[in-house]
Amino acid sequence: RDSKVHQNLLEDHSYINYKSNIENVHIVKERLGRPLTYAEKILYGHLDKPHEQEIIRGSSYLKLRPDRVACQDATAQMAILQFMSAGLPEVAKPTTVHCDHLIQAQIGGEKDLERAVNLNKEVYDFLSSSTSKYNMGFWGPGSGIIHQIVLENYAFPGALIIGTDSHTPNAGGLGQLAIGVGGADAVDVMSDLPWELKAPKIMGVKLTGKMNGWTSPKDIILKLAGMTTVKGGTGKIVEYYGDGIDTFSATGMATICNMGAEIGATTSVFPFNKSMTDYLGATGRSEIADFAKLYNKDLLAADEGCEYDETYEINLSELEPYVNGPFTPDLATPISELKKVAVERDWPLDVKVGLIGSCTNSSYEDMTRSAEIIKDAAAHGLKAKSIYTVTPGSEQIRATIARDGQLKTFEEFGGTVLANACGPCIGQWDRKDIKKGDKNTIVSSFNRNFTSRNDGNPATHSFVASPEITTAFAIAGDLRFNPLTDKLKDANGNEFLLKPPTAFSGLPTKGYDKGENTYQAPPADRSSVSVKVSPTSDRLQLLKPFKPWDGKDAEKLPILIKSLGKTTTDHISMAGPWLKYRGHLENISNNYMIGAINAENGKPNTLKNRYTGEYGAVPDVAAAYRDQGIKWVVIGDENFGEGSSREHAALEPRFLGGFAIITKSFARIHETNLKKQGLLPLNFADNAAYDKIQPEDSVDILGLTTFAPGKNLVLKVHPADGSAPWTTELTHTFNAEQIEWFKAGSALNKLAKK
Ligand code: F3S
């Protein structure tokens, strides 16, 4: 147990710290005097000060020391720009950057990649040189999607990592706690500051039985999303247990953990088991699996008798495939009922496009099972009725399925194999088959299906399902098709039932083919590396510090916008074409809240400037207020900022002069991001105030001179109709240190001072 084992095959400076993790766990166990869940062991094993840290699930703030950081290219730009402004010579923790989000799907893999490399040259050069300068690993365009690369190379049981992307939890499939954060959190860890997380509650999900037929791991999380809703996991870690977990692959577990983000969970995790050993072996990391076995009982499994804050149970033997959507991933419909529901709700029945792959579902197993279904259809003379796209998760997956024939099967079926990147999953899709505004249905094996996410068309009904079901829909071309019961007609008009894909271990029998080498390690001598940011660039802009708080209560602030209903990070800072400005705060701020619905007129991106009476776009009005020295607030509904970890959704309102975002409730990452940028995320103590407050009212935020943890602030509302002002209380989740961020103007200002 005392050996020094490397965290991965690529770095010679990072080791697995089981020994210190277990020491911390023993300290905490003695203090708490109770058995621990597996997730708790990982968390508490990474505490900065296990002797004195207050630990109350759901309330205390844990200070943690994660093992590593992973950033995707869209979020890495701002994280690195922030890291640079703190003036440190190199990152304190192993960090990698992955080029996956900026590649648009147009024609197909190679051509799209070539175009992206030209189009994003400036950004890729910045990321490549800054990672070299500050001692980080760089995965260039074409290498694959961050979460797949992490799973293949960096994830190991018992680790704690943070990633600047919402689907970082994917790595829970290899038994680690992997948490999606904003760039500002990544900067903390890269700068050797302890990273803070509100101690999550633990949701236990017991899996029993064994899947069969058309059911696959994706269906577990699709069903769970229906049971818990998109808010059910907020502030919680989902920990799986029960006999059922040993019946499927590590990549299947990764799919489930990946999509835990859709129920708002902090992360999801499976305890160390045989499937993980097999996957570690297949990816050249048997030494890690052997090392983990030595710590299996005491560190890498839950203690007997541990207690969960809430529990769910799913019997895999009875589980049927699910199709979730449209517009939200928790609208779960079992395949047996889909026909009826789709007709009743007037969902477009033609499946225009079936998309498989993404970080959620592009394992070798997923590809193989999908290819198996296609081969069966092809044997009956059928090809794809819908447009069919395949996004391999990594170069390793692409090369392996190219070698083993699945890729050819997809192409013969009529499918298009896209670049190893996010593509249509994040709106990087030059969709040509319909016009914007056309009502239509697409089905994907991705994770997220908010309005406009995939193709920028609000009329697209986007459904998420397993790759197997997505493929079956692409064959039938119809949302009413149930492959378990419905027959298709072969080329001669004879009816047949598609064969369900056969059970499969998830690993290639010939091993993985690594494909092209797309990894760039940092050079040993980094002194001569220079990082350039052109002052005239429209993609990258060095950051200027935000102003500190002026020490006064805020009075007579206009409401920039009262947003109606769901306000996700896609509404606050839209992706798609805007992704290209992720490194340029001024330019990307032109998308602030353009997707949110204005309660005043029910429309997006048109609101009244309170001072001129003229209507304008949200970012224009915000900038006009700022330029006149007027601070403003936003009023929002429930779970405000759900969706991605996009810190721009917090940087933009700060850049545009915002002061407070007042809502019924926040999504966790967005709330923390707002605090980091020196804004005030506040909640109505009484949600009735949301309805009472009118878009043209102005507000005071009182109590800031005595701002303290757990102490409510006061909102005084001055109605626009001249009636008497009224007050209501505002709750908040700021702790003492976060209040210092607010006072300093941002967390980074505070860091630079130190
Ligand atoms: Fe990329 Fe979609 Fe995953 S945007 S990281 S493939 S969730």
Query: Residue 130: its pLDDT value, please?
Result: 96
Instruction: Provide the token pair at 151.
Output: 């799973």
Query: Is the per-residue pLDDT at 494 higher than 90?
Result: yes
Nearest atom of ligand 1 to the alpha carbon of 448: 7
Query: Is the per-residue pLDDT at 297 higher than 70?
Result: yes
Q: Write the pLDDT tens digit of every residue in 30-55.
A: 999 999 999 999 999 999 999 999 99
Query: Residue 503: its pLDDT value, please?
Result: 64
Query: Residue 331: its pLDDT value, please?
Result: 96
- H-type alpha helices, 628-746: 648-655, 668-676, 688-692, 736-744
Q: Is the CB of 165 under 6 A from ligand 1?
A: yes
Query: Residue 173: its pLDDT value, please?
Result: 98
567 in Cβ contact with 640 (< 8 Å): yes
Nearest atom of ligand 1 to the alpha carbon of 165: 5
Nearest atom of ligand 1 to the alpha carbon of 72: 5
207 in Cβ contact with 242 (< 8 Å): yes
Q: Name which of 518, 554, 569, 219 is nearest 398 in CA terms.
A: 518
745 in Cβ contact with 546 (< 8 Å): yes
Sheet holding 387-391, edge to edge: 332-334, 322-324, 460-464, 440-444, 351-357, 387-391, 416-417
449-to-232, 457, 461, 643, 690 alpha-carbon distances in Å: 17, 12, 8, 10, 27
Domain final position from 477, 496, 515:
496
Query: Is the per-residue pLDDT at 132 higher than 80?
Result: yes
18 in Cβ contact with 1 (< 8 Å): yes
Q: Write the pLDDT tens digit of every residue in 189-212.
A: 998 889 989 899 999 999 999 999
Amino acid at 59: S
Q: Is 373 inside any structural domain?
A: yes
Q: Check which CATH number belongs to the domain holding 589 and give it.
A: 3.20.19.10
677 in Cβ contact with 641 (< 8 Å): no
Query: Is the per-residue pLDDT at 471 higher than 90?
Result: yes
Query: Residue 745: its pLDDT value, please?
Result: 95
Work out the pLDDT band at 125, boundaries 50, 70, 90.
very high
Report ipTM (2 d.p.).
0.97
Q: Write the pLDDT tens digit of every residue in 313-335.
A: 999 999 999 999 999 999 999 99
Q: At what angle do helices 736-744 and 668-676 cross, to 10 degrees?
A: 50
Query: Residue 456: its pLDDT value, please?
Result: 85
Domain final position from 284, 316, 348:
316
Q: Is 8 inside any structural domain?
A: no
Q: Name which of 283, 285, 418 is nearest 353 in CA terms.
A: 418
Query: Residue 576: its pLDDT value, please?
Result: 76
Residue of 145, 221, 464 with the most ligand 1 atoms within 8 Å of its CB, for mutation:
145
100 in active site? yes
Query: Is the per-residue pLDDT at 590 higher than 70?
Result: yes
Instruction: Provide the token pair at 127.
Output: 């990321």
By DSSP bridging, strand 387-391 and strand 351-357 are parallel
Q: How many CA atoms lie within 13 A of 59 on its CB side?
A: 5
The rounded Å distance from CA 391 to ligand 1 centre is 10
Share of the chain above pLDDT 70, in %: 100
Q: Is 518 inside any structural domain?
A: no
321 - beta bridge partners?
none
Q: Is 254 inside any structural domain?
A: yes
Amino acid at 644: S
Work out the pLDDT band at 584, boundaries 50, 70, 90.
very high
* CA–CA distance, 594 with 319 (Å, rounded to integer): 40
The rounded Å distance from CA 667 to ligand 1 centre is 19
Domain holding 719, by residue range, is 554-753
Specify whether 380 is located in the same domain as 489. Answer: yes
The rounded Å distance from CA 661 to ligand 1 centre is 27
Per mean pLDDT, which range of 174-188, 274-288, 467-481, 545-559 is the poorest?
174-188
101 in active site? yes
Q: Write the pLDDT tens digit of every residue in 677-718.
A: 999 999 999 999 999 999 999 999 999 999 999 999 999 999
* CA–CA distance, 17 with 38 (Å, rounded to integer): 16
Amino acid at 421: A
Work out the pLDDT band at 423, boundaries 50, 70, 90.
confident
732 in Cβ contact with 680 (< 8 Å): yes
The rounded Å distance from CA 324 to ligand 1 centre is 17
Q: Is 490 inside any structural domain?
A: yes
Specify whether 367 is located in the same domain as 311. Answer: no
Query: Residue 645: its pLDDT value, please?
Result: 66
Q: Check which CATH number belongs to the domain holding 331 and give it.
A: 3.30.499.10
**CA-proximal residue: ligand 1, atom 3 (nearest):** 359
165 in active site? yes
Specify whether 269 is located in the same domain as 361. Answer: no
Share of the chain above pLDDT 90, in %: 85
Query: Residue 46: its pLDDT value, please?
Result: 98
| Average pLDDT estimate for 138-158 | 97
Specify whether 301 is located in the same domain as 328. Answer: no
Dihedral pair phi/psi, residue 13, rounded to 5°:
-110, 5
